[in-house]
Amino acid sequence: MTPPDRPPRPATAVAPRVLMTRLRSLMAEGRSLDGRLAGVVSLVARSFVADVCSIYLRLENGDFELVATEGLKAEAVKNTRLARNEGLIGLVASEARPQNIQNAPHHPRFSYRPETGEDPYTSFLGVPILRFGRVIGVLAVQNIVSRVYDEEDMETLQTIAMVLAEVVTTESQSGSEELADVAVRPNRPIELIGQSLSEGLAMGPIHLHDPVVAPAQFFARDINDEEVRLKKALEQLRSFVDTMMVQNISPLAGESRDILETYRMLAHDPSWANRLFDAVSSGLSAEAAVDRARREHRARLQNAKDSYLRDRLHDLEDLDNRLLRMLSGNGEGIASQDHDGAILVARRLGPADLLEYRNAGLKALVLEDESTTSHAVIVARALGLPLIGGVGRIMAVVETGDEAIVDGDTGHIHIRPEPDLVAVYRDRLASRSQRLAEFAAIRDLPAVTQDGVKIELLMNAGLGIDVGNLDASGAEGIGLFRTEFQFLVSETLPSLTEQREFYQRVVDIAEDRPVLFRTLDLGGDKILRNTRHNREENPALGWRSLRFALDKPGLFRRQLRALCQATAGRTLCVMFPLVTTPEEFRKARELLNKEVAWCEKHGHSTPQKIHVGAMIETPAFALSFHELKGEIDFLSIGTNDLHQYFFAADRDSRFMSDRYSILNHTFLLFLKDIRKRADEMGIPVSICGEAAGNPAMAKVFALLGFRRLSMPATGVGPVKRAIRNLNLSELGVRFEAVLSENSSDIDKDLLNLLQDV
């Protein structure tokens, strides 16, 4: 059977480049918004040889209103409204992608509106008008004859829709009465909930991490110049990605390069580049071409359910953003402007990106993607920034300049809050400021209980900016210095000299106060940007931390050598993370001894004293550390990892993070047993982790017999005040009674016991 002939595609009246030139002239005319929209639909209808061109904009209630048309009845303008999911317009909006339909009246989503007079029209092509991935309207063309719109038609219409989005937004921001009921940007108060990753309160305007393309940059003044600029920026981007790949051939190289190879493949994808050049050849600037691609990727991302597809779309959007920065001349820099008092909102953010903002005056950080927050968390805490992660779709409901309240204590974000709520949080901020003043007053006082028991309070650190907070925190030293963050924020592996100088600055600032350096805790969720690494189904239980370091002796010994040289003539306190068996500790200590011997042989000064310890983070080591009697100098319980391994519950999972309390009866008895056996061996043991910075939990640890606690710098003041109000001898008997009851509500019983202390 011979297939029927397809109806011919009408030749467009003008080439896309000419259409862009005419559109630019139209936008520059001094017409009202309604006049310009009417001019657009007329221009598009003529250029596409379309019988109808219409613009619908989303209203505050979610409906779509016909605001301009060429071909439908004039009286339908501002009178025809479609529900948010009604008709083909609703289909375009709900899918956030173009819909090309050859026989529209027979489509199941077709909705007939007699007042428009669209009875005879058959073919339909509609594209969403997108802003920050959010659909604010629909642009559609229709024809009486059955017509197949091609890719060029679709791309041209998408470009016009992008221009319309910026025109409508600009008019809305200027207070245009013509847009009084149109939802150009969200303006209703919204409350979102995420996972609290760094405590604190903040109020201020939102700043979106993504680059913004100004409306004035949409059209090309000289297409040849724009093509040259785009080509140069693409070459710069690809060179950057290729350099990352070259740097992967390092001591950390693994078998799989899937993730980075895919990223590189996308950067070199000719179809992506061709679409960008096609957009420029149609009359768009290089920035507008990239921005159009980014809008499409973002809209698809918000509707993608498949995790693999979401990862690839994330990669594409990241490439779009990097290319925009390179076009702007900002290279890889992202924080050249002053954002004093702003709340940074991003889809995802690495620690290096966050550090670029450290001098920008940020007040808080909110991330949409939960799975990538782990690297940025400790940096945010070091900067003293409240941080909430896993806030789904926040990028779709906020814009730069929106006022927001970030409650890092509870994980709540209030967007465009009502005045009454603002007043409540202002009172909370004032109360917090008062408490900070109280903590400052006792900063230089010792943490001694009312019955004379001294509790040593130390702070956790990992960056130079952390160490600068040592004096202000009131801590007596650094109980955990995370050395891996020097690696995580660097584009290349730090050299021996760089490591030595960095560690030396740390001990110089600390002066005579102790600094306990934890050796590299890499692997798992801490993957270096300059390495390739095997993907593991369960990275928390995989090739990480000391296991990783022992398998990479070249990398590990270089760090140990740097530590020995940096602490020459002083005391070196070093501890190994995630020790599982005594044999692992012995292997690590043997490497340290070799580096000390190497320094002595080659005429380098060595530490005056060396104290070597280990982190208790696995139940296996907690039950076997007694085998190291006489070989180990101290122990530190890492509550974060020990807690998650004890309960087999991922601490970063929002479904598991609150399921098992650290105040669980069995876990407390486990901690008590560790402390008791360490005391019997004469080995000092401390508590190290986020829990130590919680005043209530710190009091429980003191009642369990721990006399050294290490915590985030922000926890030192509150914990010191709690310890100074505590009487261990009076409370001890009641505490032991609660502990012996084996109640399922022991956490509540303990909090009730301690609430008045």
> Are 157 and 297 within one domain?
no
117 CB neighbour count, 10 Å cutoff? 16
| 8 Å CB contact between 130 and 107 | no
53 part of a folded domain: yes
Rounded-to-integer distance, Cα 278 and Cα 292, Å: 12
> Are 50 and 155 within one domain?
yes
pLDDT tens digits for range 220-269 = 888 899 899 999 999 988 887 777 656 544 433 333 345 556 667 777 88
The residues assigned a catalytic role are 375, 688
Range of the domain at 349: 190-209+335-416
Residue 52 has pLDDT above 80, yes or no: yes
Question: Which among 588, 510, 597, 600 is positioned nearest to 555, based on CA atoms?
Answer: 588
Percentages helix, strand, coil for the chain (3-state, rounded to 5) are 45, 15, 35
Helix (H) or strand (E) holding 23: helix 16-28
* Beta-strand pair 343-346/364-367: parallel
| 8 Å CB contact between 347 and 398 | no
**Cα separations in angstroms, 757 against 226, 375, 723:** 68, 36, 9
> Rounded to two decimals, what is the model's pTM?
0.63
Enter the tokens of residue 637: 């319980």
Question: Which among 321, 355, 360 is positioned nearest to 342, based on CA atoms?
Answer: 360
> Are 698 and 727 within one domain?
yes
Alpha helix locations (H) across 122-255?
151-173, 223-247
Q: Is 173 helix (H, G, I), strand (E, B) or coil?
A: helix
Cα 568 from chain centroid? 39
Q: What is the DSSP letter of 10?
A: P
Q: Would you state the pLDDT for residue 698?
A: 95
Cα 192 from chain centroid? 16
The arithmetic mean of pLDDT across residues 320-339, rounded, is 67
Residue 309 has pLDDT above 60, yes or no: no
> Are 50 and 127 within one domain?
yes
Rounded-to-integer distance, Cα 748 and Cα 753, Å: 8
> Are 198 and 346 within one domain?
yes
Residue 688 has pLDDT above 50, yes or no: yes
317 part of a folded domain: yes
Rounded-to-integer distance, Cα 81 and Cα 60, Å: 12
The arithmetic mean of pLDDT across residues 85-94, rounded, is 93
Domain tally, the chain = 4
Q: Would you state the pLDDT for residue 606?
A: 93
Mean pLDDT computed over every residue of the chain:
83
pLDDT tens digits for range 580-628 = 999 999 999 999 999 999 999 999 999 999 999 999 999 999 999 999 9
> Are 98 and 245 within one domain?
no
410 Cβ contact partners less than 8 Å away, ≥ 6 residues apart: 196
Q: Would you state the pLDDT for residue 179?
A: 67
Q: What is the DSSP string of 685-723?
A: EEEESGGGGSHHHHHHHHHTT--EEEE-HHHHHHHHHHH
Q: Would you state the pLDDT for residue 375?
A: 54
Last residue of a domain, one of 125, 160, 179: 179
- Measure the N-to-C terminal CA separation of the chain; round to a whole number of Å: 90
Residue 485 has pLDDT above 90, yes or no: no
603 part of a folded domain: no
Q: Would you state the pLDDT for residue 306?
A: 56
Residue 2 has pLDDT above 50, yes or no: no
Q: Would you state the pLDDT for residue 588?
A: 96
The C-alpha R_g of the chain, in whole angstroms, comes to 31
The arithmetic mean of pLDDT across residues 269-279, rounded, is 85
> Are 202 and 348 within one domain?
yes
> Are 47 and 147 within one domain?
yes
CATH number at residue 246: 1.10.274.10
CATH number at residue 40: 3.30.450.40
pLDDT tens digits for range 450-481 = 999 999 999 998 877 678 788 888 999 999 99
Looking at per-residue pLDDT, the higher value among 49 and 462 belongs to 49
| 8 Å CB contact between 281 and 272 | no
